[in-house]
Amino acid sequence: MKKYLFLALAALVGFVACDTNEPALDGKLQITVDKSEIIANGEDAATFTVKGIEGTVIEDATIHFADTHEALDGMSFKTKYAGEYSFYAKRGTSKSDTIKVTAKEDTGKEPNDDPNDDPNDDPNDDPNDDPNDDPNDDPNDDPNDNPGTKEELKLSVSPATIVANGEEKATFTLTIGEESITDFELYNAAGDVKLASNEFTTTEAGVYTFYAMYDGEKSNSVELTARMNIVEEEKPIEIESTTLTIKANGVDYTKFTVTQDGANITNSATIYVNNGVLNGNKFMTTTPGTYTVYAEKGTVKSNELTITAEEVTSSGKTIVFAEGVTLTSGWYDVNKKGAGDNGDINMCWAAASSNMIQWFQDRYKAAGKTLPAGATDGPGVTTYSRFGAYELELMNVFHSQWDNSRGGHMSESIPWYFEGVLNGGEYASAGTQAVPKTDGGFWKSIWATEVYPNIYHGYDKIVAPGVIEYYDLYITVFNNYNLWGNGSDLVGKERLKFFSDLVVEAFEHGMAGLTINLGATLASASHAVTLWGYEIDNATGLVTRLWITDSDDLASEPKTQLLNEYSVSIDEGKSPVKLTGDTRYGVCYVVEIHPFSGYGTAE
């Protein structure tokens, strides 16, 4: 089972973008149209052209109405409804500015004809004549002298074009000069039908004419265009699941994803299980059987899936320890000296690494092998202070050959000891974490030929996707945030189930270290410990107890080796995995798990 960890290191050397064969774009397309005006006769058409930043014609771009974002069927636009239309072009995430096309009412004339031309006009007519002049008027009258004229009512509408979808509205306003009138009556000129308000919406496309009445006076008329509601035919949708088989234990689940034309539409689709609506996109049950699952979006229905929920026949709990380990033997507990006054205050990672490496070396020797000449093995013999030697001499290696002014990582210190590599630690900024002062690699002479082929190495570590990636590892780190914490969409026991599955998988191939935190927010300083065994509820698949050794579980000398038992639980919602025990801390919380393969676990 492959998993990925995305680590944010303090400094990276940079990254390379992916190559593409598509025309280079700067995020904005260029849209042009061959006609800015057409006749609204359903035949006259405006044709669009879309280009990229380099002037290359983009053949697969789509043209969209700017107000509804509906796509045209092709690169041309024609309509039977007069009005002003705005469009933009789109391709992938690139988008153009908007461009306007005006559809003129079909009068039988070309768009550039003067609509005021009368074919019967006398060519000798004075174009400045007022056709409304009274021929009996005194030519000496002052045309501006009309003291009895009232200011006219002026009706306006916004917007002048709406979509005939029954939802988009146009609002009318009435003014006299600069004064706004609110208590006017609005009429649809077709049949002189009075509207109930100053707003208008419709599902019938067409050109509508309106006028207002106020204080016995009639306003000017205004036109409103309601254009056809173009609804694109829904494309097929598809539903997929992470697994088709789950345990009917109320914890194990499958997760569904719904796609349409390659896009994830899970949040806008409705998922059905045995014809009942599923709340969300995860399905779990305590009832064994088969379940039919499909999704719908609008009137479109997806394919069907069959999910099998298997009956849980096992009962009770099972305890699993790492190979060669029991409650009383096979485990190690390196402790710091003098509560850290030996210069090892930050070396919890080194203590846990020493425990894990010694366990591996024990497995190697149990297989009838001889440790390489450079390996450090057995109880501690080097004394740094009045408190004596460490429990394992391996701790002395890290104490003397690393700069321990900062905390460190098991996933870097262990491969340093065996192979002389850090698996990404070399990219951390100076001073941010512990670093080695020597090359390490004490098993390097036999590692590639005699050891690596005989251990499980199916773990990965992605430091920077596409740039700094490590594959086929025998130790890694799974961070709670991305996998079962707040960076995931899991809650409550779903989180504990994910963590439990990681524990089970780690012990299938070896054992593990843990990073814990004393605060439920996981915001305080983290601490490294060694995980030697677990207890699991067979019915639910949830880990219920852990056995851990800890370099800080005793505060005063002389320190003894202890295997601490913690009960495992989790609260509702977005809570961390909680460990509770009769220890120095009482309660702590899991931040990371570091699975580590044992010798002989190649399969």
pLDDT tens-digit profile of 343-374?
899 999 999 999 999 999 999 999 999 999 99
Neighbours of 47 (CB within 10 A): 14
> Which amino acid, one-letter code, is at 66?
A
Q: Is 153-227's fold the same as 318-597's?
A: no
Tens of pLDDT along 148-200? 446 789 999 999 999 998 999 999 999 998 899 999 999 999 999 999 999 99
Tens of pLDDT along 223-277? 999 988 876 667 899 999 999 999 888 788 899 999 998 899 998 899 999 999 8
472: Cβ–Cβ under 8 A, 6 or more apart, which residues? 457, 458, 459, 460
Strand partners, 555: none
Q: Please report, for the chain, the start and end positions of each structural domain, with discontinuous segments joined by +.
A: 28-104, 153-227, 237-310, 318-597
Pairwise CA distance, residues 239 & 257, whole Å = 6
Tens of pLDDT along 372-410? 999 999 999 998 778 899 999 999 999 999 998 899 999
Task: Give the fold, CATH level 3, of 237-310.
Answer: Immunoglobulin-like (2.60.40)
Is residue 22's pLDDT more than 50?
no
Whole-number percent of the chain with pLDDT over 70: 88
Neighbours of 294 (CB within 10 A): 19
Query: What's the pLDDT band for 27 if we cut at 50, 70, 90?
Result: low
Stated as kind and residue range, the H or E segment containing 499 is helix 493-509
Give the per-residue pLDDT at 284: 87
Give the per-residue pLDDT at 232: 64
Task: Give the fold, CATH level 3, of 153-227.
Answer: Immunoglobulin-like (2.60.40)
Enter the pTM of the model: 0.59
Is residue 25's pLDDT more than 60?
no
CA-CA-CA-CA dihedral for 193, 194, 196, 197, to nearest 10: 110
Task: Give the fold, CATH level 3, of 318-597.
Answer: Cathepsin B; Chain A (3.90.70)
The residue among 529, 580, 518 whose CA lies nearest residue 552 is 529
The residue with tokens 């460190």 is: 408
Pairwise CA distance, residues 352 & 334, whole Å = 7
The residue among 502, 503, 529 whose CA lies nearest residue 585 is 529
Strand partners, 431: none
The answer to whether the CB of 534 falls within 8 A of the CB of 553 is no
CATH architecture for the domain at 28-104:
Sandwich (2.60)
